Amino acid sequence: MVEFLVHVAIMACLYGLLSLSLNLQVGFAGLVNFGQVILFGCGTYGAAIAFSHQLGPVAGIALGIVFAVIVAAAFARLGRNLGADYWGIATLAVAEVLRILANNEAWLAGGAQGVGGIPLLFGDMPRPMGPLMTLGLCVALLLAAWWLCQRLTTSRYGLALKLMREEPQLAASLGYDLAALKTQTLMVAAVLAAASGFVFAHYITFVGPDQLVSSETFLIWAMVIIGGSGNHLGAIVGAILMQFLFAFVPFVKDALGLPSEHVAAMRLTLVGGGLLAFLIWRTQGLIPEHVGGKQNG
Amino acid sequence: MISVNNVRAGYGDGPDILQGINLNAAGGEIVTILGPNGCGKSTLLKCIAGFVRPRGGAVEMEGCDVSAVPVHDKIRHHLMGFVPQTDNVFSTLSVADNIMLGARYMPAAERNARYAELMAQYPSLASKQERKASALSGGERQILSLARALISKPRVLLLDEPSAGLSPMMMHEVFAAIAEIRDRTGMCIVTVEQNAFEALGVADRAYVLSLGKVAIEGRAADLLADPAMRHLYLGGKPPVVESRPPFAAVN
């Protein structure tokens, strides 16, 4: 049971990183990114490509970050010519194109078969210690990401992001370069997502295109919306809550005597139903955005 | 100072909102753009500022084509100051912080010197510089917006409906402040306005738009005196119509 809880906690931390990354884009800069999963995928494929070429994990994380920054730059470039809603659709399209590319190009990282056998980050440690060390790393990464996001968004830079989100014309009239602000935000968010992907790849020990389906993006969106868009703590709480709810769906299934194939459907219902309920009854999420004065959370 | 030459502009794939507009504004004059709702006044101002890129023609400032120059570049190079239409001061920040936002890219010494100059020019703001902007009246908030745009000493000032949402007394105060800026600095000021009579009262020249074209242009005083203009574009009293019996009485 302890190992199961450690596994759930690791996944919650990794999704927490993704949720923080998306929250920085959507909650603060107003960038409606529907291609978030591909930034995560850059991290996983960085690890997979480095492993395939017998390069170490340092090369893996470096590759993942470089890929993610390139994709983020491409997203930002698209944003110069497209309105916010069209840009959101374009990011979804780019993410799907890259997923299909990863699925069909075997030379890249095994194509549809993916890459297996990626070593655990703490594989040489005995059984209870390895996962615990991974959990420690994930918690440290999450705290570092939270601190970074907090520092960024409580500074003048954060004020500029919120201004760009609420009043882009006013932001430009105060001399802010909106295109540069968007690019910087996307790049910071891309690094966070790639870090999550890299650790995920070394934890699950397998990377494949099935991990990049767009439903993953909408799961991260649900975490941000349920937790509270525009609040870092809310984004983390949303991720932890959703992950633990997901983990306990099989127990509910057993208690109700439902067949196993209902588990996936129950999880989807949980995402869709939760999202809908919060959009209707509590749009600000569990921990709302702090408006005015100094921010906490 | 500003020269708009045969500009066509619109949004997305939609039709042209501006259909070949020509406009000129020199230093030391206030030019006001008037017209009914939907005629393209705000689009023209956004086109001059750079928020909307012209589909055809050119916008020149100081003899250079600035049609493709981003807004922030014009602001940072002290070429232009822009005051948007909405209530755009930050209520939770102090008056001083609000003004300083307009100068955050300037060197500290220059910024502080300009701030001191502005405080001397606007004693009403100087006495409240440490207070939150939420404590200001509507007119004071608009003057704060003007001060924030002026701190960078722009050569051109663009104002999008500076009197929107203000009471007549505050409106008068704001227009007096705009006229004072022109007289003191010799700046080129272009405003878009709904309150035509007030705007023409301080403007030197005016352009009246209709359906994306310049319908009338001329000296503000001449336009104010023209009864046809007053009737068609400025909301002047319509001519008296012969009274008719009610519908039921006709039947």
What's the pLDDT tens digit per position in A261-274? 788 888 888 888 88
Q: Is B15 exposed, middle or buried (0-12, 13-18, 19+ CB in 10 A)?
A: exposed
- What b/e string do you get for A259-280 counting C-beta neighbours within 10 Å, with b at 16 or more? eeeebeebbeebbeebbeebee
Asked if B75's CB is within 8 angstroms of A174's CB, the reply is yes
Share of chain B above pLDDT 70, in %: 91
pLDDT band per the 50, 70, 90 thresholds, residue B238: very low
The answer to whether residue B146 scores a pLDDT higher than 70 is yes
Strand B213-219 and strand B64-65: the pairing is unpaired
**Nearest CA to CA, how far is A289 from chain B (Å)?**
16
With CA atoms as reference, the chain A residue closest to B103 would be A174
Of A167, A174, A179, the CB nearest to B101: A174
Q: Which amino acid is at B87?
A: D
Of B70, B92, B102, the CB nearest to A174: B102
pLDDT band per the 50, 70, 90 thresholds, residue B223: confident
Q: Does B49 touch chain A (CB under 8 A)?
A: yes
Of A167, A177, A292, the CB nearest to B72: A177
Asked if A156's CB is within 8 angstroms of B72's CB, the reply is no
- Long-range CB contacts for residues B204-207, cutoff 8 Å, separation at least 24: B204/B29, B204/B30, B204/B31, B205/B25, B205/B29, B205/B30, B205/B31, B205/B32, B206/B31, B206/B32, B206/B33, B206/B34, B207/B23, B207/B31, B207/B32, B207/B33, B207/B34
Identify the pLDDT of residue B82. Answer: 93
With CA atoms as reference, the chain B residue closest to A175 would be B72
Domain containing B160 — which CATH number? 3.40.50.300
Of A167, A292, A293, the CB nearest to B86: A167
Other CB atoms within a 10 A radius of the CB of residue B128 amount to: 18
Q: Report chain B residues whose CB lies below 8 A from the CB of A172.
A: 51, 70-72, 75, 82
DSSP3 helix / strand / coil % (chain A, rounded to 5)? 75, 0, 20
Weakest mean pLDDT among A46-60, B206-220, B230-244: B230-244
Q: In degrees rounded to 5, what are phi and psi of residue A150?
A: -65, -45
Asked if A177's CB is within 8 angstroms of B92's CB, the reply is no
Q: Does A81 touch chain B (CB under 8 A)?
A: no
Over range A69-88, report the average pLDDT. 89
Residue B234 belongs to some domain of the structure: no
In sequence order, what E strands does chain A have? 115-116, 206-207
With CA atoms as reference, the chain A residue closest to B98 would be A174
Weakest mean pLDDT among A84-98, A177-191, A278-292: A278-292
pLDDT band per the 50, 70, 90 thresholds, residue B197: confident
CA distances from B183 to B77, B156, B174, B187, B224 (A): 23, 14, 14, 8, 21
Q: Does B101 touch chain A (CB under 8 A)?
A: yes
Contact indicator for A67, A219 with CB cutoff of 8 Å: no
Tally the domains of chain B: 1
Name residues whose C-beta falls within 8 Å of residue B74's C-beta, 6 or more positions apart in sequence: B49, B50, B61, B66, B80
Q: Report chain B residues whose CB lies below 8 A from the CB of A176.
A: 72
Identify the pLDDT of residue A292. Answer: 59
Average pLDDT taken over every residue of chain B: 86
Residue B227 belongs to some domain of the structure: no
Identify the pLDDT of residue B61. Answer: 92
Contact indicator for A238, A21 with CB cutoff of 8 Å: no
Tens of pLDDT, residue by residue over A136-152, are: 999 999 999 999 999 99
Where is B82: in which H helix or E strand?
strand B80-83
Asked if A292's CB is within 8 angstroms of B104's CB, the reply is no
CA distance B109 to A136: 48
Q: Does A166 touch chain B (CB under 8 A)?
A: no
Q: In degrees rounded to 5, what are phi and psi of residue B64?
A: -110, 140
**In chain B, which among 9-28 make CB contacts under 8 A with chain A?**
12
CA angle B220, B222, B227 (to 5 degrees): 115
Domain residue ranges of chain A, discontinuous segments joined by +: 2-213
Asked if B72's CB is within 8 angstroms of A176's CB, the reply is yes
Range with the largest mean pLDDT of A89-103, A259-273, B81-95: A89-103
Over range B215-223, report the average pLDDT. 89
With CA atoms as reference, the chain A residue closest to B85 would be A170
Contact indicator for B189, B29 with CB cutoff of 8 Å: yes
Q: Does B68 touch chain A (CB under 8 A)?
A: no
Instruction: Give residue B177's domain range.
Output: 2-91+137-219
Residue B162 belongs to some domain of the structure: yes
Residue B189 belongs to some domain of the structure: yes
Q: Which amino acid is at B237?
A: K
Over range A272-289, report the average pLDDT. 88
**Nearest CA to CA, how far is A179 from chain B (Å)?**
10
Tens of pLDDT, residue by residue over B21-72, are: 999 999 999 999 998 888 899 999 999 999 999 999 999 998 889 988 999 9
> Could you give the dihedral angle defined by the CA atoms of residues B44, B47, B51 and B55, in that order, rounded to the nearest 10 degrees?
120
pLDDT band per the 50, 70, 90 thresholds, residue A249: confident
Over range A17-27, report the average pLDDT. 96
Complex confidence, ipTM: 0.79
Q: Report chain A residues whose CB lies below 8 A from the CB of B148.
A: 174
Interface test with B, best of A80, A155, A173 (most B CBs within 10 A): A173
**In chain A, which among 82-121 make CB contacts under 8 A with chain B?**
83
The answer to whether residue B200 scores a pLDDT higher than 60 is yes
Asked if B104's CB is within 8 angstroms of A173's CB, the reply is no
Q: Does A170 touch chain B (CB under 8 A)?
A: yes
Which neighbouring-strand residues pair with B83?
A: B159
**Helix (H/G/I), strand (E/B), else coil: B109:** helix
Residue found under tokens 């690094």: A191
CA distance A171 to B71: 10
Other CB atoms within a 10 A radius of the CB of residue B102 amount to: 25
pLDDT band per the 50, 70, 90 thresholds, residue A226: very high
CA distance B23 to B177: 24
* DSSP per position, A204-267: H-EE-GGGG-HHHHHHHHHHHHHH-TT-HHHHHHHHHHHHHHHHHHHHHHHHHT--TTHHHHHH
